[in-house]
Chain A
C-alpha cells in the first residue's frame, strides 16, 4: 500500500482543510516532515492512526517489561484533544475529518473518517457522531463496522505498532531489550504472527467446544432419559392396550347385562296390569311373615302368663278357705286367751282356799261366817273349772296348725295384676290372630285374581331383574374403575411420550465437536511451529537489518533471538556483546522491529515519529539510508529540527526522498511563505503582531497557532 494523499481538516494545529499530496514522479520511498515542537508532526501521525483505527492514544509505558498502552486522546472536551482548538471553540458546527488515499494491490483505497458534533457545542465524544467510509478498488463503499473490517484486510490493527513508531516507543523497546524483559517482545512477536488472533481463535474454539460439549452432554442425558422413557413408553403402551382391552371387555359385559335387563323389563312390562296386585301380594306376604313372627312372640307371652292362670283360678276357691281359716285363727287366739285367764283364776281361787285363815284381807278383822265364805270359794272354783273344760273341748284346731295352713294357702295366692296380665296377653294374641287371618284373607283374595303361573313368572322376573340390576351396577363400577385406570395410564403415557420426545443425538454437534478438537490441536501445533519459524525468520531479518544499520558490521555480525525472544548482539568471535552501547542497542531494536514488520508480510507505509532522538549522527544517517532504501515501502519520518537538518538531510538523501515538507506556525516566518511569492519584503506591525507581504499583500499573525504545510523543494 502506498499513500498518495492525506487530507486533514480541523485536527490539531491544522485549521481548515490541508491536502498533503504524496504522489511522486520517482520511485523513492522516503518522506519527511520537518518541524519544531508543537507544529503538528505528531498530529499527522495521530491523524492517520485515528483515520485508520478510530482512536489515537497517548504514548504508552513499559511496566515490568510489559507495554501498557496509553490513554485514548478524546476528539473534544477538556485538556489535549484531537480537534483543532479554534474549530472546537469558534465554529458553529464542530467538525473534524481525516482522509487517506492510497494505492494498494486491490486498487485505489480511500478511507474517510469524520467526527461531527450532534449538539451546538459538544462537551464530550458521546456528543460527537463519528462516521467512516471505506472504498477499496471497485468494491462498493462501505461504512461503519464493515468499513473497519475492510481496513483490517490491508492494515491489521494488531500490527499498528510496527508501522507507527515514535522515538519514545523506540526507546521503550530498547529499554525492554536492555532489561532482557521477554514478555513485551514476546507479545510483539505474537502480534506479528497473528498468535493473539490464533490464541483468541483457540479460546473461542474452546468456549465453542465447551458450549458444544455442554449441549452434547445435555443432549446425551436427554437422549438417555428419552431412551429410558421410550422403553417405558413401549412397555406402557402394552399395558395401555391391555387396559383398553379390559375396558372393551367390561363395556361388552355391561352391554350384555344391560341388554338382558332390558329384556326382563320388557317381559315385566308385558305383565304390567298384574304388577300392582303382585306388589300388593308381595307386601302382604311381607306383612304376614312379620305378623307371624310377632304372633309367635305373643303366643310365647301368653304361655308365659298362663303359667300363673291356675293360681288365679284356684284362689277363687282358696280365698274362702283363707278367710275361714283366718276367722278360725282369730277365734282360736281368743279362746286361748280366755282359757289362759280362766286357768289363772282357778289357780288364784285354789290358792285362796288353801291359804284362808278367817281374817278379812281388807280390814284385817276376823270374818263372822268363815264356812259360808269357804263354800263360796269352792263354788267359784267349780264354775271356773267347768268353763275351762267347756272351752278346751271347743278347740278343734290349734293356732299353730292354723298358721301352717294359712301359710300353705298363702303360697297359692296370685299377685293382684296376674289376672289382668293373663287376659291382656290373651287379647293381644287374639288380636294378632285376627290380623293375621285378615292378611291371609286378603292374600287369598288377591291370589284368586292372579294365576299361579303369572305369579310365578312375575316372581321369577322380579328376582331376575333384581339380580340383573345388581349385575349392571357391578359391571358399571368395574367399567368405571377400569376407565379410571385407563385415564391414569393415559396420563402416564403422555408424560412418557413427552419425555421420549424427538430427542436424537445431534450428529452435527458431534461432528463439529470433533472438528473443533482437531482444529484446537492444529492451532496449538501451528502456533508452536509458526513461532519457531517466525523466531528464525525474525532472527535472520533482524541480523540482516542490523548488519546494514550498525557502523561496524565486521564486528557485530548479527542478532540472536532465542526461544523466549530475548535478543543479543552477535559478534565476530561467535559470542555475544555483553555491554553494547546505547546506540548499538537502538540499532538492534530498530532491526528487530523492522524484522518483525517484514515477517508480518504487511505492505504498508512506516511512520516514524522523532526517530533519531537517541541516535548519534552516524546512526541517524544509517537509519535513513537503510529505511529509505526499502523496496517499495513508504517510510515517513516526522523529524524534529534538532534531529535532522532539513537542508542537510535533503542533500544527503536526495535520491531517496520522494517528498518532504516543513510544518511551521506563521510566527516562524519573517518573510512571505507563500510558494508563489517568497518575498522578503515584509512589514511587521508590532501592535497587531502581524506581518504583511509588501509584494503579494499576504498577511500572517504571529499569534496564530495554525500550522502551515510547505513542501520542500528537492
Chain B
C-alpha cells in the first residue's frame, strides 16, 4: 500500500480538548498563565506528539471541533503513522486527532497536578 493509498482524513478534537488548546495560546496580557503556543495549531501539534509519545489513542466524544488543515499537513507524519494507518485502514487525520485527544488529556492531567505544559517534554 503506497502513500497515495493512505487516507488523509480530517483533523478534529472534542470541544473540551479544543477549549483546552485555546487556553494554551499566548496572551501578552496574561503572562503569568501557562500559554506556551503561538496558535491552536501549534498547541494541537504539541498535543498530538504528546499523545503519540504515550502510544495511546483516545476516541473523541461529543461535538468535534475542527483544526485548520492548511496549517497542519498530515502527510508530514505519514512516515510514522503509515504502518498504523495501513494496518487498521484508518486515515492519518483520525489517527492524529485521537493521539491529540490523548495529548489534551495528558495536559489536563498535568495541570491538575500543577505541572506546566512544557514540563511534559521531560
Q: Chain A: residues with CB nearer than 8 A to chain B?
A: 292, 295-296, 298-300, 302-303, 305-307, 309-314, 316-318, 321, 405, 408-409, 411-412, 419, 422-423, 425-426, 430, 433, 436-437
What 3 A-B pairs are tightest by C-beta distance, nearest first?
A: A313-B49, A306-B36, A408-B79
Q: A316 near B38 (CB under 8 angstroms)?
A: no
Q: B49 near A307 (CB under 8 angstroms)?
A: no
**Beyond the given A412-B76, A433-B32, could you list 6 further A-B residue pairs with CB under 8 A, ordered by the A residue number?**
A299-B35, A303-B36, A309-B121, A313-B50, A423-B118, A437-B32
CA of A390 to CA of B78, assembled, Å: 30
Contact sample, A vs B, 25 pairs, CB 8 Å cutoff: A300-B26, A303-B26, A303-B35, A305-B118, A306-B117, A309-B121, A310-B46, A310-B48, A313-B49, A313-B53, A314-B52, A314-B53, A317-B49, A318-B79, A318-B80, A411-B76, A412-B80, A419-B121, A419-B122, A422-B118, A423-B118, A423-B119, A423-B121, A426-B118, A436-B32
Q: B38 near A295 (CB under 8 angstroms)?
A: no
**Least CB distance, B20 to chain A, in whole angstroms:** 15
B1 sits at the interface (CB 8 A): no
- Chain B residue at smallest Cβ distance from A325: B79
Q: B42 near A317 (CB under 8 angstroms)?
A: no
CA of A299 to CA of B35, assembled, Å: 8
Q: B49 near A314 (CB under 8 angstroms)?
A: yes
Chain A residue numbers with a CB within 8 Å of B45 are: 310
B16 sits at the interface (CB 8 A): no
Contact with A along B46-68 (1 / 0, CB 8 A): 10111011010000000000000
Contact with A along B10-49 (1 / 0, CB 8 A): 0000000000000000101001100111100010011011
Given A313-B53, A426-B118, A306 contacting B80 (CB threshold 8 A): no
- Chain B residue at smallest Cβ distance from A430: B116
Chain B residue numbers with a CB within 8 Å of A312 are: 121
Chain B residue numbers with a CB within 8 Å of A303 are: 26, 35-38
Given A303-B37, A426-B118, A405 contacting B53 (CB threshold 8 A): no
Chain A residue numbers with a CB within 8 Å of B52 are: 313-314, 317
CA of A41 to CA of B32, assembled, Å: 147
CA of A425 to CA of B34, assembled, Å: 12
Q: A313 near B46 (CB under 8 angstroms)?
A: yes
- Chain B residue at smallest Cβ distance from A313: B49
Q: B79 near A409 (CB under 8 angstroms)?
A: yes
Given A422-B121, A430-B116, A321 contacting B79 (CB threshold 8 A): yes
Q: B31 near A307 (CB under 8 angstroms)?
A: no
CA of A637 to CA of B78, assembled, Å: 172
- Chain B residue at smallest Cβ distance from A407: B79
Given A296-B28, A408-B79, A306 contacting B46 (CB threshold 8 A): yes
**Least CB distance, A451 to chain B, in whole angstroms:** 27
Chain B residue numbers with a CB within 8 Å of A292 are: 31
Chain B residue numbers with a CB within 8 Å of A295 are: 31-32
Q: B50 near A307 (CB under 8 angstroms)?
A: no
Chain B residue numbers with a CB within 8 Å of A298 are: 31
**Least CB distance, B55 to chain A, in whole angstroms:** 8
CA of A543 to CA of B26, assembled, Å: 148
CA of A460 to CA of B24, assembled, Å: 41
Q: A306 near B122 (CB under 8 angstroms)?
A: no
Chain B residue numbers with a CB within 8 Å of A300 are: 26, 28
**Least CB distance, A518 to chain B, in whole angstroms:** 107
CA of A619 to CA of B76, assembled, Å: 171
Chain A residue numbers with a CB within 8 Å of B26 are: 299-300, 303
CA of A316 to CA of B52, assembled, Å: 9
**Least CB distance, B76 to chain A, in whole angstroms:** 8
**Least CB distance, B41 to chain A, in whole angstroms:** 11
CA of A302 to CA of B32, assembled, Å: 12
Q: B46 near A426 (CB under 8 angstroms)?
A: no
CA of A423 to CA of B118, assembled, Å: 7
- B77-118: which residues lie under 8 A (CB-CB) from chain A? 77-80, 116-118
CA of A121 to CA of B79, assembled, Å: 153
**Least CB distance, B8 to chain A, in whole angstroms:** 16
- Chain B residue at smallest Cβ distance from A295: B31
- Chain A residue at smallest Cβ distance from B28: A296
Q: A309 near B32 (CB under 8 angstroms)?
A: no
Q: A306 near B53 (CB under 8 angstroms)?
A: no
CA of A412 to CA of B49, assembled, Å: 11
Q: B42 near A306 (CB under 8 angstroms)?
A: yes
CA of A419 to CA of B116, assembled, Å: 15
- Chain A residue at smallest Cβ distance from B43: A306
Chain A residue numbers with a CB within 8 Å of B50 are: 313
**Least CB distance, A698 to chain B, in whole angstroms:** 158
**Least CB distance, A405 to chain B, in whole angstroms:** 5
CA of A295 to CA of B28, assembled, Å: 9
Chain A residue numbers with a CB within 8 Å of B38 are: 303, 307
Chain A residue numbers with a CB within 8 Å of B28 are: 296, 299-300
Q: A309 near B31 (CB under 8 angstroms)?
A: no
Interface centre among B26, B28, B77, B118 (most CB of A within 10 A): B118
Of the residues B32, B53, B78, contact of A317 by C-beta under 8 Å = B53
- Chain B residue at smallest Cβ distance from A433: B32
CA of A317 to CA of B76, assembled, Å: 15
Q: A426 near B53 (CB under 8 angstroms)?
A: no
Chain B residue numbers with a CB within 8 Å of A302 are: 36, 118
**Least CB distance, B102 to chain A, in whole angstroms:** 12
CA of A300 to CA of B52, assembled, Å: 26
- Chain B residue at smallest Cβ distance from A316: B53
CA of A639 to CA of B111, assembled, Å: 165
CA of A17 to CA of B121, assembled, Å: 156
CA of A160 to CA of B78, assembled, Å: 157
Chain B residue numbers with a CB within 8 Å of A296 are: 28, 31
Q: B31 near A299 (CB under 8 angstroms)?
A: yes
- Chain B residue at smallest Cβ distance from A302: B36
CA of A298 to CA of B80, assembled, Å: 34
CA of A338 to CA of B115, assembled, Å: 54
Chain B residue numbers with a CB within 8 Å of A425 are: 118
Chain B residue numbers with a CB within 8 Å of A430 are: 116
Chain A residue numbers with a CB within 8 Å of B36 are: 302-303, 306, 309, 426
Chain A residue numbers with a CB within 8 Å of B78 are: 408
Chain B residue numbers with a CB within 8 Å of A419 are: 121-122
